[in-house]
Structure 1
Amino acid sequence: MTGSAASPVPIPVRVGVHPGPALLAGVADGPSLPAHRARYGDLPTPTLDELHRLVSAVGLRGRGGAAFPFATKLEAAARGRRPVVVVNLSEGEPASAKDSALALSAPHLVLDGAVATARALGAREVHLVLPGDRPMARLRMLAAVDERHDKVRLRTHTADPRFVAGQARAVVELMSGRTNLPVTAWAPEAVEGYRRRPTLLSNAETWAQVGRLVLAGEPAYRRLGTGAEPGTTLLTHSRHGADPEVREVPFGTSFGDVLPPLPAGAAVLVGGFHGAWTTWGLLAGTPVSVPGMAAAGLPLGAGIVHVPATAGCPLGFTSAVVDYLAGQSAGRCGPCVNGLPALADAVRAAWQGRDTAARVDELAGLLTRRGACAHPDGTVRMVRSLFTALPAEVAAHRDGACVATTRAGVAP
Structure 2
Amino acid sequence: MTEALLIHPPAAPLRGRVAPPGSKSITNRALLLAALARGTSRLTGALKSDDTRYMADALRRMGVAVQEPDATTFLVSGSGRLRAPDGPLFLGNAGTATRFLSAACALADGPVVVTGDAHMQKRPIAPLLAALGALGVAAKAPTGCPPVTIQGRGGFDGEAVSIDAGLSSQYVSAILMLAACGTGPVRVSLAGDSIGARGYIDLTTAAMRHFGAAVTQEAPGAWTVAPGGYHAADLHIEPDASAATYLWAAEVLTGGSIDIGTPAGAFTQPDAQAHALIAAFPHLPAEIDGSQMQDAVPTLAALAAFNATPVRFTGIANLRVKECDRVAAMAAELSRLAPGLAREQGDDLVVTPCPPGAFRPARIETYADHRIAMSMALVGLRVPGVTILDPGCVAKTYPDYWRDLGALGVTLREAAAG
TM-score under structure 2 normalisation?
0.31
The one of the two structures with greater contact order (alpha-carbon pairs below 8 A, sep at least 6) is 2
> As a proportion of its length, which structure holds more helix?
1
